[in-house]
Amino acid sequence: MSNVPGVIPSAAAVVPLTPAKRTRLEYSTVAKSGRLSFLKCNPDQECHNYSDTNALCRKIVKPSCLIPGRKCVEGKNGYDQCVDGKSEFVECKADQKCIIVDKNFSSCVPRDNEQECEKGYDKCIDGLNGHALCYKGRLSFLKCNPDQECHNYSDTNALCRKIVKPSCLIPGRKCVEGKNGYDQCVDGKSEFVECKADQKCIIVDKNFSSCVPRDNEQECEKGYDKCIDGLNGHALCYKGRLSFLKCNPDQECHNYSDTNALYQTCTAQNDKKPTWINNQKRTSDPLDNLRSQNEYM
């Protein structure tokens, strides 16, 4: 323990831990010594997980500036820029000078030109939530309201638009009580999808529901296997029952074939084809296929 930077050995209280209360990190600690220790960070430090098995106390970095903006620096040809609590000096070019546009926005403009900016200039300014625009050769800055965000609609058109709060937070599909259908949450937007008259809504897992035939023992057709929009996973049919398999965070779902469910799988992003397709002979049992898939991922 004495070799850990920023740690005071005397502050560690060593206590036994019951298996039922161990976390993944705690298991790693127990595996080495059989005992769990707790190390408290200093007041000027914060704890940070660098990996699943490595946590350290690191110094809290205080912001070098508080008010977002750009301000010309006296005695220098440039401005201090404050974005996300970090201050940075931006120097103007030799043929430019720094001008104060408003109390929180300065900019570099041509030194020997009556026109401060080019006609049509209108762009959002990073970190300031507003846009600078050119009007009759003069530069202006328009700040967005607190409930707005600046958006560049084109190279010459920036506007403040209302921030749309998400109507739902957890992506998924959930059957709605009292209705024959499910609420679908995709990209923060909730939408009700009604099942057909000959269908009913069933809960497949906690975040996925679906419409299936009402008077049929089979919930789905043999071979059905498709990615579900917005959920990063695929629904598949096995022995007449519908299942949902979610991809890992570093994967994305891709439909390799509309007619062959055996080529439907979660694959690592940017991969054109999963490794197991070239290395493993597929079987007729989807669960066997999934086991083979996992061996190669």
CA 134 vs. chain centroid, Å, equals: 35
What DSSP line would sit under 102-145, residue for residue?
ETTEEEEEETT-S-SS-TT-EEE-TTTSEEEEEETTEEEEEEPP
Q: What is the pLDDT of residue 238?
A: 87
Burial class (CB in 10 A: 0-12, 13-18, 19+), 184: buried
Mean pLDDT of 162-177: 90
Q: What is the pLDDT of residue 291?
A: 41
Q: Confidence class of residue 187 from pLDDT cuts 50, 70 and 90?
A: confident
Look up the pTM and report it: 0.44
Q: How many CB atoms lie within 10 A of CB 223?
A: 13
Mind listing the pLDDT tens digit for each residue in 253-272? 888 876 443 445 675 444 44
Q: What residue spans define the domains of the chain?
A: 9-59, 69-162, 166-215, 217-297
Instruction: State how far the Cα of 156 lies from the Cα of 143, in Å rounded to an integer.
Output: 17
Mean pLDDT of 142-149: 94
DSSP-derived 3-state class of residue 132: strand
Q: What is the pLDDT of residue 166?
A: 82
Half-sphere exposure (Cβ direction) of 107: Cα atoms closer than 13 Å = 19
Higher-confidence position of 70 and 277:
70
pLDDT reading at 14 higher than 90: no
pLDDT, mean over the chain: 79
pLDDT reading at 202 higher than 70: yes
CA distances in angstroms from 15 to 29, 75, 204, listed in the order given: 12, 60, 42
Structural Rg of the chain based on CA atoms: 29
Instruction: State how far the Cα of 149 lies from the Cα of 128, in Å rounded to an integer.
Output: 10
